[in-house]
Homo-oligomer: A and B are copies of this chain.
Amino acid sequence: MLEWKSQEKAITQEEEGACKREIKAIQKELAALQQPIKQAGLPVLLVFEGWSASGKGSIISKVISELDPRGYQVWSYADPTDEEGRRPLLWPFWRDLPPRGEMAVLDRSWYSRALTRLEEDQAAASGLVESINTFERQLGDDGYLILKFFLNISRREQKRRLEKLSDHGATAWRVTDRDWRRNREYAARAEVTELLLQATNPVHAPWHVVQNEDKTRGTLEVLRRVRDALRAALEDGAPRPLPPEQVPWPLRAMPRLKDVDLSPSTTEEAYRAELKRERKKLQKLHSRLYREKVPVVLGFEGWDASGKGGAIRRLSWALDPRGFDVVPIAAPTPEELSRPYLWRFWRQLPKDGHVVLFDRTWYGRVMVERVEGLTPEARWSMAYDEINEFERELSRWGAVVLKFWLQIDQDTQLRRFEDRQSTPEKQYKITEEDWRNRKKWPQYELAVDEMLQKTSTEYAPWILVEGNDKKYARLKVLRTVRKALERRLDG
């Protein structure tokens, strides 16, 4: 697939003139395409990878030179910052995703970072490839157009350019020891790069290896390909990925909601004593998590009035406020709606060593969005896989992931609703919507049952919490979290 050795003839002056004229013409075409891209709501990612000194910067300049800055953004990804280093590999790229109708131009990307990681640890290869392919497939599913360029120059040409940069006072600083090392190790790096590119070359996010020994020819080729791909996407829609391979998720068996025995309860005395014990243990564990840089992601779902808030509060009392955040999930903002569904959850991931408690979660997709008809079936039915993939990514990063479903029966909910309505300081907690949701109990139960069957994995299990007795429920949450952390830290 890749030609690592340049076989080009030198460019003639005449040819160069013709190339330059065509470049100018395409630049204007690209500018004219921005309006239709905006109107079609097409999100575009242009990824530039390549050898050091292969000319990424100057080709990017040519791509953007006539564009309206309101429609694109250039992102430069050097080595990870400390913020980025403490999050999953793909976190910065999720964070910076363009909204629909806009374009992101990436100067280096997840590929550079993956290659750096591979230099350190060859064994990480299959995990990296899987993470990347999943990421690009999810974006493709969401209508993103992804074009990936690898700018290729020969080892000799790279050496020549590095020498030239080194010779000039104004540019010498740009050439680092790493660049020279990589030039020496060109062959080995080419091999690894080629393997990575071949393993990540699906039809909806193809690689274009562009020979950039001659920069005019290289620039023209990139511009042509960008223009053609944009035109094609505007006419036919972005190329669609194939459905994900049916990986057998490592699912845990889950009971149906109606089969859950809601009788467990606890006495006030036992509750107080155990609460105290669990808090002490959790405090110690939290400090170990911090030191050992283990991230923890906890999700809370459940019927309205099932006691999510109370359980979250009891848990948070046991944690150092500097090391956790509670993230309440409400209806998405316009900013969130204009990007893939999981974007806002990616953005909220904790740093390693920190704990995030999600008060409602990404499972809204297959519950409220499904039941209320906010999202077409074609989209929400894909979410089981997307979510399993998301949680696998978290787990691969090293996070402890637990999801709690707080279960109550309809009588208990009614009693709690009535109590809220008659207690002034609780009144804000109950709305018309709660009553509306209650009427749809059977539809929600169906959706929740399906969700529990399809997304309780070994690495991110659902825990069903018997919630008719609030105290019992809180203790079960604390105990479950504590045990999971112990397993992780001691196991």
Give the interface of A toward B (CB within 8 A): 28, 31-32, 35, 57, 60-61, 64-66, 68-70, 73-74, 76, 81-83, 105, 107, 170-171, 173-174, 284, 287-288, 291, 309, 312-313, 316-317, 320-323, 325-328, 330, 333-335, 357, 359, 425, 428
Contacts and interface: CB of A to CB of B under 8 A. Distances in A.
Contacts of A173: 287, 291
B60 A326 contact: no
B325 A74 contact: yes
Given A61-B317, A317-B61, A70 B170 contact: no
Given A32-B425, A309-B68, A170 B287 contact: yes
Nearest to A424: B32
A276 to B, nearest CB: 15
A287 B171 contact: yes
Given A32-B425, A68-B309, A312-B69, A321 B170 contact: no
Contact of A60 (B82, B321, B328): B321
Contacts of A287: 170-171, 173-174
B313 A66 contact: yes
Interface majority SS on A: helix, strand, loop or mixed?
Answer: helix
Nearest to A29: B425
B82 A321 contact: no
Nearest to A60: B321
Nearest to A81: B82
Nearest to A329: B70
Given A69-B312, A69-B359, A320-B57, A35 B291 contact: no
Given A317-B65, A321-B60, A322-B107, A328 B170 contact: no
A39 to B, nearest CB: 10
B321 A64 contact: yes
Nearest to A171: B287
Nearest to A285: B170
Contacts of A73: 325
A322 B66 contact: no
B428 A35 contact: yes
B81 A321 contact: no
6 contacts: A60-B322, A64-B321, A69-B312, A69-B327, A107-B321, A107-B322
A322 B170 contact: no
Contacts of A330: 70
Contacts of A288: 170
Contacts of A65: 313, 316-317
Contacts of A357: 69
Given A81-B81, A83-B83, A328 B69 contact: yes
Nearest to A173: B291
A176 to B, nearest CB: 13
Contacts of A174: 287
Nearest to A287: B170
Contacts of A76: 322-323
Contacts of A291: 173
B69 A321 contact: no
Contacts of A107: 321-322
A66 B316 CA distance: 10
B326 A57 contact: no
Q: A-B pairs with the 6 shortest C-beta distances?
A: A69-B326, A70-B328, A76-B322, A60-B321, A74-B321, A32-B425
A184 to B, nearest CB: 25
A322 B32 contact: no
